[in-house]
Every structure is written in structure tokens, then in C-alpha cells.
Amino acid sequence: MEVFSNLFNDLTGWLTIGILVFMISMMAYLANMIIKKSKGDGS
């Protein structure tokens, strides 16, 4: 268990960065879909 806790502590920073990057990419993807939909409705 001690090795697992040490590994988790070492990976916590990378895990946080991964979650932030994932959230930003998902928001950009959703925004892109909304923009495409609004453009489609406009034309």
C-alpha cells in the first residue's frame, strides 16, 4: 500500500493536468459544434 500511495502522489500532478486538458478540449469541441449549428441555422 505504501508503494501505491507514493505512486499516486507522484502521478497526482500529471492526473490534474490531464483532467484540465481534457476539460478544455471537450469545451472547445462543444463550442465548435454550437458554432457550426448556429452557422447552419443562419444559412
pLDDT in tens, 1-43: 676 666 666 678 788 888 999 999 999 999 999 999 888 766 5
* Residue 32 identity (one-letter amino acid): N
CA atoms within 13 A on the CB side of 14: 5
Interatomic CA distance for residues 27 and 25, integer angstroms = 5
Angstrom CA distances, 13 to 4, 5, 9, 17, 18, stand at 15, 14, 8, 6, 9
pTM of the model: 0.57
Interatomic CA distance for residues 5 and 22, integer angstroms = 24
pLDDT at 8: 64
Interatomic CA distance for residues 11 and 20, integer angstroms = 14
